[in-house]
């Protein structure tokens, strides 16, 4: 399974909804979406998982 990491600060509706739509669309295409907390968390994910993209 392909993994996409999204670094997004949730809490602002106009920013959340497009990310949720993207999340649903990518899941339909069999992508796994992860939400790392910060850069260090993202680096840990890259070391242990097959991350094919990171969105900031």
pLDDT at 2: 84
- DSSP E strands, 1-56: 2-6, 31-34, 51-55
Q: What are phi and psi of 31, to 5 degrees?
A: -95, 145
Domain of 51? 2-55
**Tally of domains within the chain:** 1
Name the pTM for this structure. Answer: 0.68
The pLDDT > 70 percentage for the chain reads 80
Contacts made by residues 40-48, CB under 8 angstroms, sequence distance 24+: 42/5, 42/7, 45/3, 45/5, 46/5
Write the CATH number for 21: 3.40.50.2300
Q: Does 56 or 6 have the greater pLDDT score?
A: 6
Contact between 31 and 2 under an 8 Å Cβ cutoff? The reply is yes
């Amino acid at each position: 399974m392909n993994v996409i990491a999204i670094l997004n600060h949730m809490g602002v509706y106009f920013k959340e909804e497009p990310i949720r739509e993207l999340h649903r669309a990518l899941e339909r295409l069999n992508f796994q979406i992860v939400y790392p907390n910060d850069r260090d968390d993202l680096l840990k994910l890259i070391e242990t998982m097959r991350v094919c993209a990171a969105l900031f």
